[in-house]
Amino acid sequence: MSFMPHEAISVFDIFKIGVGPSSSHTLGPWRAAQQFLSDIVDRGDLESVCSVRVLLYGSLAKTGIGHGTDIAVQLGLSGEDPVTFQLDLLHARMNDILVMKKILLHGRHEIDFDPKEDIEFFITESLPFHPNALTFLAEFQNGEQIAETYYSIGGGFVVKEGAANASHTSVQLPFPINTAEDILHWCRTTGLSIAEAVLENEGSWRKEADTKQGLLNIWCVMKESMYKGCHQEGNLPGGLNVRRRAAALNKKLLNGADYHDYESWISAIRNGGRDFRYILDWVSCFALAVNEENASFGRVVTAPTNGAAGVIPAVLQYFMVFNDGDTEEKIIHFLLTASEIGSLFKKGATISAAMGGCQAEIGVSSAMAAAGLTEASGGTQRQALMAAEIAMEHHLGMTCDPIGGLVQIPCIERNTMGAIKAITASQLALQSAPDYAKVSLDAVIQTMWDTAKDMNFKYKETSEGGLAVNIPLGLKEC
């Protein structure tokens, strides 16, 4: 097992309530803008700011428009929070800034700001630390100028230049975990399940009851995104004219059954039986629903990223509706175990598509869901880790090549695949003896990282390779 230094990552760092379509290109830049402004507010200098400019580099510049990076930084500068911002105001707010050429910094100090001039996309430049970089420049009435650079390192995590170790918190956890082997060590010596060990660690940040309630809130947002996505028709924004499919599939599968809210919807789904293809269709429907919401600037849970936000809700909903997962205790268990797998990948490899391609997004979410489903279904800790290993093993090398820089094709369908692979991986692990496994989770994490480093930049969220260049779909102005 490995020892310190140890990066302490909470379950609420992995599962964050955010706004689509991208955790690295939307949520991260939004948080960076909030941090930049909050430093100025803390200095007491907000009212003396006379201009702000934003420079986007690398992947943020190349696919920033499709991923809403420009929108996110404007909302962050306006003092809005992604958890609470009223999303139906988004287009009106953007239009106001565009037409008036003014922005209300932190909701209280108005300056001139023309998004077309003051947000610059440096598509041929990258900063060395990470492909997702952005710099904020501010000028004050006394002539002082400041420039702060932030890196959006995946999953909504943000690092400020000069504080690259900010994500290494000083919290001392009872069970420090850097590798899957560490998890097994603590589980063996304490007799705890993975979820129980994680819950103990979360106690370093807050009371157990608050952790449990926070996880139920996360599940609530996941359920809302599924329900909403299953009842929205039409085309997705962005110009590709991708038709939303979840609502039509929902209607077809329910075959006229009556329901009026989330609970009666779940009863109606259960009443349809347990035929294999019926369940398969529902798993796809749940995943499509979340990611169609994500692609429409809807509210979703980053799990561990936005592009892959549908995998975990779809698998947990499958567990809840079609298996015996319909208790708060099991939902909490699932999420705690899944989050620790996400942390392992963040520490040992990456959860950023700009660093590792889609294996880092859909692959990681599938591994997380597989482990959560396995342990919450009664599997052992070793079976849960085995399930995560199997799920990632069959995502290795998967590239990121979103058409038009939008998180739509292949992203939305890819969540259905990640969910089904997670269920298959879990089932395989539950039917297997981990003693005979040849590949450990730690080995597959290392392999994913090696593969990420070897992957051509064209397949790392740049939309310069793969489907993004081989599908002749012209983007209209959006």
Measured from the CB atom, the residue of 40 and 362 that comes closer to ligand SF4 is 362
Measured from the CB atom, the residue of 314 and 358 that comes closer to ligand SF4 is 358
Measured from the CB atom, the residue of 199 and 353 that comes closer to ligand SF4 is 353
Measured from the CB atom, the residue of 212 and 414 that comes closer to ligand SF4 is 414
Measured from the CB atom, the residue of 154 and 379 that comes closer to ligand SF4 is 154
**Closest by Cα among 290, 255, 248 to 269:** 255
Measured from the CB atom, the residue of 340 and 401 that comes closer to ligand SF4 is 401
The helix (H) or strand (E) run that includes residue 223 is helix 208-229
**How near is the Cβ of 118 to ligand SF4 at its closest, in Å?**
26
**How near is the Cβ of 362 to ligand SF4 at its closest, in Å?**
5
**How near is the Cβ of 412 to ligand SF4 at its closest, in Å?**
8
Measured from the CB atom, the residue of 263 and 454 that comes closer to ligand SF4 is 454
**How near is the Cβ of 418 to ligand SF4 at its closest, in Å?**
9
What whole-number distance in Å separates Cα of residue 235 and Cα of residue 239?
Answer: 9
What residues form DSSP beta bridges with 102?
Answer: 112
**How near is the Cβ of 246 to ligand SF4 at its closest, in Å?**
16
| Residues within the interface to ligand SF4 (CB under 6 A) | 307-308, 353, 358, 361-362, 400-402, 407, 410-411, 414, 461
**Closest by Cα among 196, 202, 201 to 176:** 201
| Residue 80 burial (10 A CB sphere; 0-12, 13-18, 19+) | buried
**How near is the Cβ of 124 to ligand SF4 at its closest, in Å?**
21
Quick one: tokens of 14?
């992995």
| Residue 94 burial (10 A CB sphere; 0-12, 13-18, 19+) | middle
Please give the residue whose beta carbon sits closest to ligand SF4 in the complex: 307
463 by DSSP, 3-state: which?
Answer: coil
Measured from the CB atom, the residue of 34 and 291 that comes closer to ligand SF4 is 291
Q: Do 132 and 350 touch, CB atoms closer than 8 A? A: no
CB atoms within 10 A of CB 75: 26
Residue with tokens 């990420």, as numbered in its chain: 452
What whole-number distance in Å separates Cα of residue 363 and Cα of residue 448?
Answer: 9
What whole-number distance in Å separates Cα of residue 280 and Cα of residue 15?
Answer: 25
CA torsion 340→342→346→351, rounded to 10°? -170
**How near is the Cβ of 385 to ligand SF4 at its closest, in Å?**
24
**How near is the Cβ of 112 to ligand SF4 at its closest, in Å?**
34
**How near is the Cβ of 339 to ligand SF4 at its closest, in Å?**
19
Residue with tokens 């499919």, as numbered in its chain: 245
CA dihedral for 181, 303, 283, 459, sign (positive or negative): negative
- Could you tell me the CA-to-CA distances from 471 to 353, 466, 476 in Å, in that order? 20, 9, 15
Cis ω for the linkage preceding 5 (within 30 of 0)? yes
Give the side-chain half-sphere CA count within 13 A for 79.
11
Residue with tokens 């023309």, as numbered in its chain: 114
**How near is the Cβ of 369 to ligand SF4 at its closest, in Å?**
15
**How near is the Cβ of 146 to ligand SF4 at its closest, in Å?**
32
What whole-number distance in Å separates Cα of residue 419 and Cα of residue 281?
Answer: 12
Measured from the CB atom, the residue of 211 and 408 that comes closer to ligand SF4 is 408
Q: Do 458 and 466 touch, CB atoms closer than 8 A? A: yes
Measured from the CB atom, the residue of 118 and 461 that comes closer to ligand SF4 is 461
Measured from the CB atom, the residue of 136 and 286 that comes closer to ligand SF4 is 286
